[in-house]
Amino acid sequence: MTQNAMTSKQRVLKLFAGEAVDRVPCFSGMGNVTTEGLKNLGHKFAAIHLDAKMMAEAAATSYKLLGIECGVVPFDLCVEAEAMGCEINVYAHSEDLLYPTIKKKLIHNEAEMEITIPTDIIRRGRVPLMVEAIGLLKNQLGEDAAVGSYVLGPFTLAGQVMELNDLLKLSFKKPDKIAKLLDQCADVIIQVAREYERAGVDYLTVREMGATSDVLSPRIFKSLILPYLKKIFAEIKVPSVLHICGKTNDIVPFMVESGATAISVDQKNDVAETRAKLGPKALIFGNYDPYNVLVAGTPELVRTTMHKCLEDGVSAVWPGCDIWPTVPPENVKAMLDEIANYRRS
């Protein structure tokens, strides 16, 4: 079989379906806008978060110009929280690469935890803009590359709508109160995910980085967070990925138990161990360092890192987080080349 026996889209979809692929795909479920792409389009970074057309165009360049095998929108982590009523900051004044953040939270202290979720959540904030962007991105990429999007996990979303400090302490002191909020967050996430599915995404990633074992014990992950992840994945119809960064080796069995089609881990995960633990069939995506390797590393470092990911047994080569925009095209080339020419030793 030749290298180009499959399109990138076929490769990705077949992988999710558990079918044989000609080689390991190299894509992502997280943001991968590049300054190379923006330069080409003449778009400003601060503008692409608020305009569906610019967002879709910027996302498409990562495949069209660089060859990363997907198109993913959005680029920031504020869509759901904004729809719930938080205010965001897009740093419109700045020429630097600053991602939108939450400027004003919904819950400022424990007393404010009783919240009502707006019934028209899918018409609020940028959810409609996202639906439009997904449609435009599909038009741009056609049958060549798969289109993905992401939602936050319930705990990470809770950390956007309330003070992280309170969320973490109350997870310990008053888990019932937090459980109620996580349930509400899960409902929001499910509604937003359904909208993205209607818009035609090929796959969805749930980003639950707030629940990494760098922050929370595996015990709390299992008792407090896993039930709501299960609730979400039970409702997602397209292929799904659960991404958690940082330390994850102790929780990978729970990540699989969540019901996600695939799991994604970052460079802190020992993937060889994870592969041994989960068996040959599990879809494990990962796990290169998107900044220190892909942006700041030499092409040689990129090659050895990709080689190690493949030797360790990843099912798809994924970055550990969003790809930082200033990625040098020659490093992406080295990455794709190493993966295309890899033969299992």
Partner 1 sequence: MATAEKQAELLEKLKNAVIQYDEDTAKEASNEVLAVGMNANDAIFNGLVSGMVEVGKMFEAQEYFVPELLMCADALYAGLDILKPHVQQMDLGVRGSVVIGTVEGDVHDIGKNIVKMMFDVAGFQVYDLGRDVPLDKFLEEQIRTDSDLVCLSAMMTTTMTGMKKVIDDLRKKNPNIKIMIGGAPVSQDVADKYGADGYAKDATNALKDAINMIGSLKKMKDEAEAKKAK
Q: Residue 42 in 3-state DSSP?
A: coil
d(CA 167, CA 182) in angstroms, rounded, equals 11
Among 70, 216, 262, 306, binds partner 1 (CB under 8 A): 216
**Is residue 214 a contact residue for partner 1 (CB under 8 A)?**
yes
The residue count for binding partner 1 (CB under 8 A) is 31
- Tell me the closest approach of the beta carbon of residue 93 to partner 1, in angstroms: 10
Nearer to partner 1, 83 or 216 (CB): 216
- Tell me the closest approach of the beta carbon of residue 77 to partner 1, in angstroms: 10
Give the residue among 266, 60, 268 at the shortest CA–CA distance from 148. 60
Contacts of 276 (CB under 8 A, 6+ apart): none
- Tell me the closest approach of the beta carbon of residue 274 to partner 1, in angstroms: 18
Whether residue 287 is preceded by a cis peptide bond, meaning omega within 30 degrees of 0, is yes
**Is residue 165 a contact residue for partner 1 (CB under 8 A)?**
yes
Nearer to partner 1, 16 or 99 (CB): 99
Among 102, 225, 310, 316, binds partner 1 (CB under 8 A): 102
Among 69, 195, 322, 338, binds partner 1 (CB under 8 A): 322
Which parts of 280-299 interact with partner 1 (CB under 8 A)?
Answer: 290-292, 296
Q: Residue 290 in 3-state DSSP?
A: coil
The size of the chain, in residues, is 345
| DSSP code for 112 | G
Nearer to partner 1, 131 or 323 (CB): 323
Query: Taking the CB of residue 19, how many other CB atoms lie within 10 A of it?
Result: 9
**Is residue 123 a contact residue for partner 1 (CB under 8 A)?**
no
Nearer to partner 1, 55 or 236 (CB): 55
Q: At what angle do helices 226-235 and 175-199 cross, to 10 degrees?
A: 20
- Tell me the closest approach of the beta carbon of residue 25 to partner 1, in angstroms: 23
Burial track 105-143 (b if 16+ CB lie within 10 A, e otherwise): bbbeeeeebebeeeeebbeebbbebbbbbbbbbbebbee
**Is residue 98 a contact residue for partner 1 (CB under 8 A)?**
yes
**What are the φ/ψ torsions at residue 327 (nearest 5 degrees)?**
-60, 130
**Is residue 213 a contact residue for partner 1 (CB under 8 A)?**
yes
- Tell me the closest approach of the beta carbon of residue 324 to partner 1, in angstroms: 6
Q: Considering only the stretches 65-73, 162-170, 194-202, 331-339, report the one whose residues sit in contact with partner 1 under the rule CB under 8 A.
A: 162-170
Tokens of 342: 């890899």
SS3 content of the chain, % helix, strand, coil (to 5): 45, 10, 40
Nearer to partner 1, 220 or 334 (CB): 220
Q: At what angle do helices 299-312 and 329-340 cross, to 10 degrees?
A: 40
**Is residue 169 a contact residue for partner 1 (CB under 8 A)?**
yes
Nearer to partner 1, 16 or 324 (CB): 324
Nearer to partner 1, 178 or 260 (CB): 178
Longest dimension (CA), the chain: 62
Nearer to partner 1, 24 or 102 (CB): 102
List residues near partner 1 by CB under 8 A. 89, 91, 94, 96-99, 101-102, 164-165, 168-169, 171-173, 213-217, 220, 246, 290-292, 296, 321-322, 324, 326
